[in-house]
A and B are shown apart, each in its own frame.
Chain A
Amino acid sequence: MSTLNPARVAREFPSRYRLEAARCDACGAVSFPPRLVCPSCRGRKFKVVPLQPEGKVLTWTVIHVGPSSHKHEVPYALAVVELADGVRITCQIADVDPAQVAAGMPVRLEFRRIQEDGEAGVIAYGHKAVPA
């Protein structure tokens, strides 16, 4: 069964591969992933800005029963990470014992496999946090 649509995966490459965010021309708020309308001022003009890959764990949870795409990775930590430029993203924390994760822990984003469509389908890449 196919779970990953290649067209949809490809549409997200700018933000998933290069961490491209949108900075509102009017108020300067940064949206990630980019939006059509600024949630702060409803502005509609943006400039592409790359996110800073360094940040810290704001809050986290440990997944013990994962979706079928991630069941081989349990237990794993899923966190809200606040990046250096203030943007918050939700991502897995890799290369760490989930019991060692703590609020304020410094992390950086690294390019990893996020999921794959079985053995024959496409592979979706993106970013996970790792201990800095």
Chain B
Amino acid sequence: MRVGIVGYGAYIPRRRIRLGEIAAVWGADAATYERGLELHEKSVPASDEDTVTMSVTASRRALARAKIDPSSIGAVYVGSESHPYAVKPSGTIVAEALGATPAVHCADLEFACKAGSEGMFLAAALVKSGEVQHALAVGADTSQGAPGDALEYSAAAGAAAFIFGSSNLVATLEAQVSFMTDTPDFWRREYMRYPRHAGRFTGEPAYFKHTLGATRMLLEKTGLQPKDFAFAVFHQPNGKFPMRAGKLAGFRREQLEAGWLSPWLGNTYSGASPIGLTAILDQARPGDRILMVSYGSGAGSDGFVWTVTERIDEVRAAAPATRDQLDNGKLYVSYGTYAKLRGKIRMGE
């Protein structure tokens, strides 16, 4: 049975902070960061936005493109490392808001930055097995870096949602793989406010080993080569890593640019490569092949090969385009406002 994406949607908050604004507070050289990480600004969630609100809006946009009855959704998976509750699922709120309850299987997933693609992997497999008619997978995060840490320059907010099914596909799933090892490159212990990372160990032995490993597995499984793809998108912890991974894997810059959002979006963690995929679908043509590889610290990568169908042209305009959300209606905030919005200011009783 053919399975794939029936509808997709993205949500990017309107607020932004420029890298120079952060660097000025911590006495860092903004130009070094902009050049070294290829980052210019990042999205900032408002005080009334969180993983749940962004997931609901992205999912409603996916529903608008899928044009299905929400009660036919048999599974809802929300992947995030910033669920609003420590105990109580985000997925129940999302499913209730969409009108998918009560006949629905639901779980919150967590795997650093790849929790979103984990849900996609499961959703596709459940539809393929015939267990459910439609399944929703969301990747969303409002990530935090410790003040002054390198992560603070990239940790951003955004969400992407995909509804999987076996008919009316906009993109057919050709193959999916997972490449995983135990690699302690980034973590957050219980009750800790900010994550810790292992500096340069997050690069070659972590990000590159797993993204390139998953890409190799996908190419071997499908018998395809980089030239057979119109687009490729990799996890985007900054602007530099996904371009480098893509080039090491044999892709050209033109194949990577459509889904490369991080220089102006930052790292949306569980939303990163999924939001990149939505930007690609916004401009892909029927027959285009897309390679997508996520990465989550800890560590692992999920890889997917999609082929775009004719239906893409019918559904594209049914919801806001991802690039439009990234480029338009931006509200720039100062570091002071950012610190307030992100709860970094200690308040009185």
Interface residues of chain A, those whose CB is within 8 Å of chain B, are 13, 17-18, 72-73, 94-95, 110-114, 123, 125, 128, 131
Contact = CB atoms under 8 A, between A and B. Distances in A.
Given A95-B329, A110-B57, A112-B49, 20 more contacts: A13-B96, A17-B96, A18-B96, A72-B47, A73-B47, A94-B48, A95-B15, A95-B331, A111-B57, A112-B48, A113-B48, A113-B52, A114-B48, A123-B50, A123-B85, A125-B52, A125-B53, A125-B97, A128-B48, A131-B329
Contacts of A131: 329
Nearest to A13: B96
Interface in B179-200: none
B99 interface: yes
A73 B60 CA distance: 26
Contacts of A73: 47-48
B311 interface: no
A114 B47 CA distance: 10
A131 B57 CA distance: 15
A102 B310 CA distance: 42
Query: What 7 A-B pairs have minimum CB-CB distances, sorted nearest first?
Result: A111-B56, A112-B48, A17-B97, A113-B48, A95-B14, A111-B53, A112-B53
Nearest to B341: A72
A41 to B, nearest CB: 28
A17 B52 CA distance: 12
Given A13-B96, A111-B57, A131-B329, A123 B84 contact: yes
- Which bracket fits the contact residues of B? 20 to 34
Nearest to B55: A111
A113 B57 CA distance: 12
A24 to B, nearest CB: 22
Q: Which of A94, A113, A131 has the most C-beta atoms of chain B within 10 angstroms of its own C-beta? A: A113
A94 B84 contact: no
B46 interface: yes
Interface in B160-193: none
A111 B84 CA distance: 15
A131 B14 CA distance: 11
Contacts of A125: 52-53, 56, 93, 97
A95 B54 CA distance: 14
Nearest to A115: B48
A73 B47 CA distance: 8
Contacts of A110: 53, 57
Contacts of B329: 95, 131
Interface string B57-70: 10010000000000
A18 B60 CA distance: 11
A113 B47 CA distance: 8
Nearest to B99: A18
Nearest to B56: A111
Interface in B28-59: 46-50, 52-53, 56-57
5 contacts: A18-B96, A110-B57, A113-B48, A113-B52, A123-B52
Contacts of A94: 46, 48
B340 interface: yes
Contacts of A111: 52-53, 56-57, 60, 97
Nearest to B15: A95
Given A125-B93, A131-B329, A113 B50 contact: yes
A68 B332 CA distance: 26
Contacts of B50: 113, 123
B312 to A, nearest CB: 24
A112 B84 CA distance: 13
B254 to A, nearest CB: 34
Nearest to A20: B99
Contact of B49 (A72, A113, A123): A113
A37 to B, nearest CB: 26
Contacts of B53: 110-113, 125
Contacts of A112: 48-49, 53
